[in-house]
Amino acid sequence: MIRKFFKNLSGYLEVSNFERLGFFALIFIISMVCAYQFYIHSYDNTVTTSEDTRKLQEFIAKNESLFEDKKFAQKKKDYTTDKCQVNDLFDPNMDTKEQLIRKGLSTGVVKNIINYRKKGGKFRVKKDLSRLYSLSVTEYQKIRSYINLPDTLIVKSTNRLLNKSPVKMLVSINSCSVDSLEMLKGIGPIFAKRIVAFRSKLGGFYSLSQLREVYGLPMETIELILPNLNLDTTQIKKIRLNSADVKALSMHPYISYNEAKAIVNYRQQHGKFSQLDTLKTLHIFNNKSINHILPYLDLN
C-alpha cells in the first residue's frame, strides 16, 4: 500500500529535460533583472545624495519656523499677543470692541472692559482700569497716558459725569430720572434704567430693600448708594382692589394670574373688600405672606 503511494507520488514529481531547462532559464532572467535594478538605484543614490542634501538644507533654512517646538511657539505667541501695544487715545466707556483692539489693547483686557460695561459698570477715572484682573500694574502704567479719562473727578456743574463727587446728595428713588441715578457712584446707565423700569412695574418702592430685586444690581453697590437715597412712599401708584380686573391685577410683579383671578372671584361672590387683611383669608394666600402686596392696593 505504502509502496504504491510513493510510486504514484514520484510519477507526479518527475520533471522532463525541457522543463528543467526552462526553469533554469527563468531563474537566470530574474537574476539579471534584479542585478540591473540594484545597479541603477545604487548609481542614482550616489549621484543624487549630495544634491538632495543641499536641497533639504535649503528647505529647512527657508522653513525654520516649521521646525520650532510647538509649545515654545505657543508660549511665544501668548507672550506677544497678551501685551498691550497701545498707539492711540482710547475711551473705555465709548469705544467698540474692534476699536479697542485696533488701538492696541490686548484681547483679554478688551473682553474685561466689554463685560464690565454690559453689567452696567462705568469707568470714571483712569485708575478704574487698574482694577481689571487681566491688566497688570506694569501694563497699566504703560497705557495710562493713552486713557481718555480724567485722573480725578472734578466737581463742575456743567458736566453731569464729573458731578459724581464724594459730596452727599439725596435722590428721591420714587421720582428720580435715569440721569439722576447715574449721578450716584457705582450706577451706570444700564443699572439706572433697570431701577427705573422695575420701579415702574411696581408702582414705586415702599422699602429700599426692594433694590435687591433689581436684576444684576450688586449688594455692594446698593450699600454704597443707600445713604444718598430718599424714600417717599406717598408717591406709590396703587391698584384699586375693588375695581381692577384680572389683567390689571396680574400685571403687578407681586401678583400672579391665579392670585388675581382668586381676588376677582371673591369680590364677585362676597362683594367689595372692606379691609386689605381680608386677602389673607383667601385660600390661595394660605401660608403665604402678603405684606409685600398690601402697600400697592387701595380700597377706594
At residue 76 the predicted structure's pLDDT band, cuts being 50, 70 and 90, is: very low
The CA distance from 86 to 101, in Å, is: 9
Q: Is 298 helix (H, G, I), strand (E, B) or coil?
A: strand
**Averaged over 229-244, what is the pLDDT?**
92
Place 166 in a pLDDT band, splitting at 50, 70 and 90. very low
Q: What is the pLDDT of residue 155?
A: 47
- Cell of residue 48, nine digits: 543624487
Distance CA 258, CA 190 (A): 32
Residue 106 falls within a domain, yes or no? yes
pLDDT at 3: 66
Q: Examine the pLDDT at 286 and tell me if it is beyond 50.
A: yes
pLDDT reported for residue 180: 92
Among the candidates 121, 146, 171, a domain finishes at 146
* 190 found inside a domain: yes
> Average pLDDT for residues 170-178, to the nearest whole number?
92
d(CA 123, CA 147): 10
Q: Helical H runs in the chain? A: 2-13, 17-62, 70-81, 97-102, 107-118, 137-143, 178-182, 189-202, 219-225, 246-250, 257-270
Residue 72 confidence (pLDDT): 40
pLDDT confidence band for 8 (50 / 70 / 90): low
Q: What's the pLDDT score for residue 46?
A: 47
User: What's the mean pLDDT in 151-169?
Assistant: 53
Say if residue 255 is in the same domain as residue 292: yes
Strand partners, 231: none
Residues 217 and 247 in one domain: no
Per-residue pLDDT of 14-65, as tens digits, reads: 656 777 777 778 888 888 888 877 776 665 554 444 565 566 666 656 555 4
53 in a domain, yes or no?
Answer: no
Cell of 189: 446707565
Q: What single-letter DSSP state applies at residue 238?
A: P
Q: What angle do CA 52, 72, 141 make, to 5 degrees?
A: 140
CB 141 within 8 A of CB 117: no
Residue-wise over 146-181: b if at least 16 C-beta within 10 A, else e?
A: bbebeeebeeeeeeeeebbeeeeeebebbebeeebb
Domain membership flag for residue 60: no
pLDDT tens across 254-269, in order? Answer: 999 999 999 999 999 9
Q: Is the pLDDT of residue 131 over 80?
A: no
Q: Are residues 269 and 229 in the same domain?
A: no
Section 62-90 average pLDDT: 55
Q: Report the alpha-carbon distance of residue 177 to residue 197 in Å, rounded.
A: 11
Q: What percent of the chain has pLDDT over 90?
A: 35
Which among 234, 250, 282 is the end of a domain? 234
| 287 torsion bin: left (phi>0), alpha (psi -120 to 50), beta (else) | left
The verdict on 220 and 263 lying in the same domain is no
CATH for 243: 1.10.150.280
Give the integer Cα–Cα distance in Å for 164 and 148. 18
**Domain shared by 210 and 182, yes or no:** yes
- Whether the per-residue pLDDT at 168 is higher than 80: the answer is no
The answer to whether residue 266 sits within a structural domain is: yes
Looking at 119, 146, 173, the residue that finishes a domain is 146
pLDDT of residue 55: 64
Q: Are 262 and 204 in contact (CB under 8 A)?
A: no
Mean pLDDT score of the chain, rounded to an integer? 79
Q: Which residue has the cell 510519477?
A: 11
139 within a domain of the structure (yes/no): yes
Full residue range of the structural domain in which residue 248 is found: 239-298
- Which residues pair with residue 239 across a beta bridge? 297
270 belongs to a structural domain: yes
Q: Is residue 70 part of a domain?
A: no
Number of structural domains (the chain) is 3
